[in-house]
Chain A
Amino acid sequence: MKGLLQIELFKLFKKIRSWLGPVLIFTLIIIAYPLTVEYSTSELAKSFYSILWLGSLMTIMFSTEDIFLEDYLDGTMDQYIVNNISLPLIVFIKIFVYWLLIGVPIGILSFIFAIAFTSNFESSLLIGVISFVVNYIYFAVFSFGNSLSLNKGSLLSSLVCLPLVLPILITLGKFITALEYALNFYSYIILLLGVLSIIITIIPFLISFILKAHLD
């Protein structure tokens, strides 16, 4: 398994536009945001979080476009099956690698931008951590959507899966409110971690079922 992880990491790393592109787009969105509002620090902070969450959501949704499509088209997926490599394992590794190269940088950037906008170190740290967790969930859900319409424009089903992440957005909103009024925000972190643990285990099997059906 370690070998597979290194292989997938290397493959994605070499495909620079696939991971650096989304990270730069996310950066651009956040940097462009102050330009769209009348400059006043307190006003910026109000909507900043929404832009942050929506920006990472959209960026990740578009960045998962290629996750299975490339392997499906060039025959690599056939080879996984012929060589008896467990498909759920490969799916898990791919999502993990995408999260590592795209989700983690976005999380770190969220932390940095949060400091820039709110000047509060502790809450920014928490925002960064939450961003890591939530990004993984996004990757899992949109990869699922991507796998459903693999052969007909993978973005179609990702859009359909957008409603699936609405509860996450609502939770994030509650979390920010809790942060701002110094209420107990740990429960939200636990909630999101719970969702993450369910998704991490179920999604690989779901996706590999769908991929096998595609190959049939």
Chain B
Amino acid sequence: MFKKFFHQFASPKTFYFVSQKIFPYLFWLSIVSLIIGLIWGILYAPVDKVQGNSYRIIYMHVPASFAAQSLYMMIAVASFIFLIWKVKLAAYVVKSVSLIGASVTFLALISGSIWGVPTWGTWWQWDARITSTLILFIMYLGLISLHNSFNNLDKADKFISVLALVGFINIPIIKMSVNWWSTLHQPASITLSSKPSIDLAMLYPLMICIFSFLGLIIAIVLRAIQYEILLREKNKKWIQSI
């Protein structure tokens, strides 16, 4: 019985129609709460003692990097499911999420850079978190380029799943090793990795932004997966009846 439930869940057709229903609610809810969160954060949250008004970029930066990492988790889980249980839908997930993940990571890197200028005076730092975000970006790019280089899509799915899993194992390793490395080079300066204790008045809008951004991204992901389903299964009857 559980298997039947799982099989239904894994069918592209079910996924298509279910996400068709969910999408409007998710999308509009996320957009509205994101706008609320941003307005609250940018206009109404208190000015930071140390950083002044420039800290407000975290309302864009933190949601973006959180989304970037969550999407990679999603890809890793989907890759695992695809390789072990051969669920085709999981392969569609991996393919569609890689592009979105790359854009979000790029956003996180850019906003992080912009934050760095007024705060530390530099565009870039080689600490653990920033470097591993850069590596994440390269991994996303690798997934996209690998998939695009194949004509045979079934083969391409297998390969990016393998690459995604290998990269997934590597991300914590890189984080640990760069951390290890940077402790020698940057003994005391404040880095991005230490979460400063944040005032509640700033925290609430931040939380709203994080979750609503994630919701928005997931809505976009659903659309992307739907697109992938249409593309790959175009010969099936249920699609031709749409």
Q: Answer whether A and B touch in the complex at a CB cut-off of 8 Å.
A: yes
Cross-chain contact A209 with B162 (CB below 8 angstroms): yes
Contact for B174 among A149, A153, A163, A206, CB less than 8 A: A163
Cross-chain contact A160 with B139 (CB below 8 angstroms): yes
Cross-chain contact B170 with A164 (CB below 8 angstroms): yes
Is A15 interfacial (CB-CB < 8 Å)?
no
Interface size class of A (residues with CB under 8 A): 20 to 34
Give complex CA distance A149, B139 in Å: 15
Cross-chain contact B184 with A177 (CB below 8 angstroms): yes
Contacts A163-B138, A164-B170 given; does A156 touch B177 at CB 8 Å: no
> Contact string, B200-228, partner A, CB cutoff 8 A, digits 1/0?
00000000000000000000000000000
Contacts A163-B170, A170-B177 given; does A213 touch B146 at CB 8 Å: no
Is A21 interfacial (CB-CB < 8 Å)?
no
B95 to chain A, nearest CB (A): 15
> Contact string, A187-210, partner B, CB cutoff 8 A, digits 1/0?
000000000000000000010011
Cross-chain contact A156 with B145 (CB below 8 angstroms): yes
Contact for B135 among A163, A173, A210, CB less than 8 A: A163
Chain B residue with the shortest CB-CB distance to A150: B159
Chain B: residues with CB nearer than 8 A to chain A?
A: 135, 138-139, 141-142, 145-146, 149-150, 154-155, 158-159, 162-163, 166-167, 170, 173-174, 176-178, 180-181, 184
> Contact string, A163-186, partner B, CB cutoff 8 A, digits 1/0?
110110011011001000000000
Give complex CA distance A164, B135 in Å: 9
Cross-chain contact A171 with B170 (CB below 8 angstroms): no
Query: How many contacting A-B pairs (Cβ < 8 A)?
Result: 63
Main secondary structure of the interface of B (DSSP, over half): helix
Cross-chain contact A166 with B159 (CB below 8 angstroms): no
Cross-chain contact B173 with A167 (CB below 8 angstroms): yes
Cross-chain contact A173 with B181 (CB below 8 angstroms): yes
Cross-chain contact B155 with A216 (CB below 8 angstroms): yes
B214 to chain A, nearest CB (A): 25
* Chain B residues whose CB sits within 8 angstroms of the CB of A166 once the complex forms: 135, 174, 177-178
Chain B residue with the shortest CB-CB distance to A214: B155
> Contact string, A21-41, partner B, CB cutoff 8 A, digits 1/0?
000000000000000000000
6 nearest CB pairs, A to B: A160-B142, A167-B177, A152-B149, A170-B181, A163-B135, A170-B177
